[in-house]
Amino acid sequence: MTVKAMPKETTVAMTAPMTTARVLLATSAQTLRHTGVRRWRAASTSASSIAGRSRDLRRTRAGSALALAGLRHPAAISATIARPAIQAEAVVSSDNDTQNQMVPGGMRAVRPPARVHRWWAIPLTVIALAAITAILVVSVLPASLRAENRAGEEAEFALVPADAERVADRLAFDAVDRYPAAGEFLFVTVREPEITLLDWFVGEGEPEVGFLSYEDKFGTQTPDQQRQFSVEMMRTAKETAEYVALDHLGYPAEIIPGDVIIADLVCLEANEEGTTCIDFAPSDDLLDPGDKLLVVDGDELETLDDLSPILQRHEPGDVIEIEFERPGEGTKNGEVELIDAGDGSGRTIIGFVPFDTASADLPFEVDIDSGAIGGPSAGLAFTLTLIDELTPGELTGGGQVAVTGTIRIDGTVGAIGGLAQKVSAVRQQGAKVFIVPTEQGEADLARAREVAGDEVQIVPVDNLDQALAALAELGGNGLELGTPGADYEPAS
């Protein structure tokens, strides 16, 4: 009797589909390589990854690895590839037949690409390298080669969204009860980074990106002077916000006039679009924003109130001597030609807009930690948050409300810069309501609504009372606060 040779296990997989096949060595090597990749990726997961998602990500990557293994060896992804649906390639009658015929019918020898294909690889590689080089070049070239601001001047910087942060976390006081609110006010910030030609290309046409010239960003100040001026504006904004909030609630609070600091020079003529001043007052030849006036026409100044009687003894066209202090440069002096106020009052003025440097004398200490943030645009947000934390109930109605706008001693709300960029930051934060100054003007408000779309409701207000009324429509208790501070008595 002739004894037939027993077929190998792999041969059984080809001739008897019901038998489980052994994993091919090529596939095992692939699996081991990708298993190693998965272990390495799991070990190098960033600490900032969202908790609970890493396992899902590894599972997805493992699936991708197996898919790649399948592309390389489509018949040998796993042992389960041997299914009843697979048909035998040949009937094997001996070990020799098995060894000679175990090559699957679909596999072919690997051949090098044809000469014509190799030829096309050269120009494609050149094109790819040229594209990469172009990207690298525009990523280092200055944006001023092409970018322009709204006035058509070369732009070196961009005004872009930064963040929308909780105000309550930055407040501190302990002399009276504090009523933490479930809702929250957000104050909004922007950035003004230097940009490259690539940044301009990406941001061009985006409504929430504005391009700034050097003068737009720094004016006539040096960067150091501008930073000092910005910090001073934030200090004043905080003190004014504290005064307005406590005064609104009936607490005994007073305003003490401060130094005479120049916020801006009077513009005598602007361009047709009203975006750029083309003729400043004569004082612009000597003074810059941020300068502090020390002596005018021989008289020392302590507050802005000291300036009026000095100017009353002069007429427009008179030239007087001024001594002033410039941040980072020390004391300077020079002559200034006086001008008419131009408002029909007949007043004689130097030709500058004073910065509000008044300080608040409060019945108890309030601390607002502004960190490295400068500028006055968070004044209204500080005011509303302080009122909310000093009174029971919910000023926001329990929701999240973003706020921007300066606050003046009389409670009026002033315009700010970068409104469209701030709307973008609010939208990204997820807030649905944004209280802004009416003083921004219709064009600025229209652009803000364009950026907001249907995601953020823009609410313009003129003053603190209008802001409280707008919050009441959202369910807040701003019209029911009363004057709880009227009976306040400092602890002995």
pLDDT tens for the chain, residues 1 to 492 = 444 444 444 333 333 333 333 433 333 333 333 334 333 333 333 333 333 333 333 333 333 333 333 333 333 333 333 344 334 344 444 444 444 444 455 556 667 666 666 677 778 888 888 888 877 877 777 887 778 887 788 889 999 999 999 999 999 999 999 999 999 999 999 999 998 888 888 888 888 888 998 888 887 777 887 888 888 889 889 999 999 999 999 999 998 888 999 988 999 988 776 667 889 999 999 999 889 999 999 999 999 889 999 999 999 999 999 999 998 899 999 999 999 998 888 899 999 989 878 888 999 999 999 988 888 999 999 999 999 999 999 999 999 999 999 999 999 999 999 999 999 999 999 999 999 999 999 999 999 999 999 999 999 999 999 999 999 999 999 999 999 999 898 876
Q: Name the residue type at position 342.
A: G
Residue at 431 is within a domain: yes
Whether residues 296 and 426 fall in one domain = no
- Bridge-based pairing of strands 184-191 and 433-437 is unpaired
pLDDT of residue 440: 94
How many residues are there in the chain? 492
Residue at 112 is within a domain: no
Query: What CA–CA distance (Å, rounded) separates 248 from 253?
Result: 10
CATH number of the domain residue 273 falls in: 2.30.42.10
Whether residues 366 and 248 fall in one domain = yes
Residue 294 φ then ψ, to 5°: -110, -45
pLDDT of residue 255: 87
Report yes or no: 82 and 21 within 8 Å, Cβ to Cβ: yes
Residue at 289 is within a domain: yes
Whether residues 349 and 425 fall in one domain = no
Token code pair at residue 184: 């929250």
Longest Cα separation, the chain: 138
pLDDT of residue 164: 95
> Which residues, at least 6 apart from 5, have a Cβ–Cβ distance to it below 8 Å?
94, 95
pLDDT of residue 28: 37
Given 322, 338, 357, the domain boundary residue is 357
Q: DSSP letters of 33-68? A: HHHHHHHHHHHT--TTSPTT-HHHHHHHHHHHHHHH
pTM for this one? 0.67
Given 303, 338, 357, the domain boundary residue is 357
Query: What CA–CA distance (Å, rounded) separates 227 from 215?
Result: 14
Whether residues 237 and 382 fall in one domain = yes
Residue at 176 is within a domain: yes
Q: Name 229's bridge partners.
A: none
Whether residues 371 and 289 fall in one domain = no
Find where tokens 């997805």 sit: 60
- Bridge-based pairing of strands 400-403 and 433-437 is parallel
What is the residue range of 437's domain?
A: 164-188+230-252+361-482
Query: What CA–CA distance (Å, rounded) separates 297 from 294?
Result: 10
Whether residues 375 and 459 fall in one domain = yes
Whether residues 239 and 375 fall in one domain = yes
Whether residues 318 and 448 fall in one domain = no
Residue at 153 is within a domain: no
Whether residues 368 and 460 fall in one domain = yes
What is the 8-class DSSP label of residue 320?
E
Report yes or no: 84 and 18 within 8 Å, Cβ to Cβ: yes
Residue at 210 is within a domain: no
Whether residues 380 and 432 fall in one domain = yes
CA neighbor of 328 nearest in space, from 224, 215, 214, 223: 224
pLDDT of residue 115: 67
Query: What CA–CA distance (Å, rounded) separates 475 from 395?
Result: 8
Residue at 52 is within a domain: yes
Report yes or no: 395 and 181 within 8 Å, Cβ to Cβ: yes
**Overall number of domains in the chain:** 3
Whether residues 59 and 81 fall in one domain = yes
Residue at 4 is within a domain: no
pLDDT of residue 197: 85
Whether residues 458 and 417 fall in one domain = yes
Given 101, 124, 145, the domain boundary residue is 101
Q: What are the angstrom distances between the C-alpha of 119 and each of 115, 162, 352?
A: 6, 50, 71
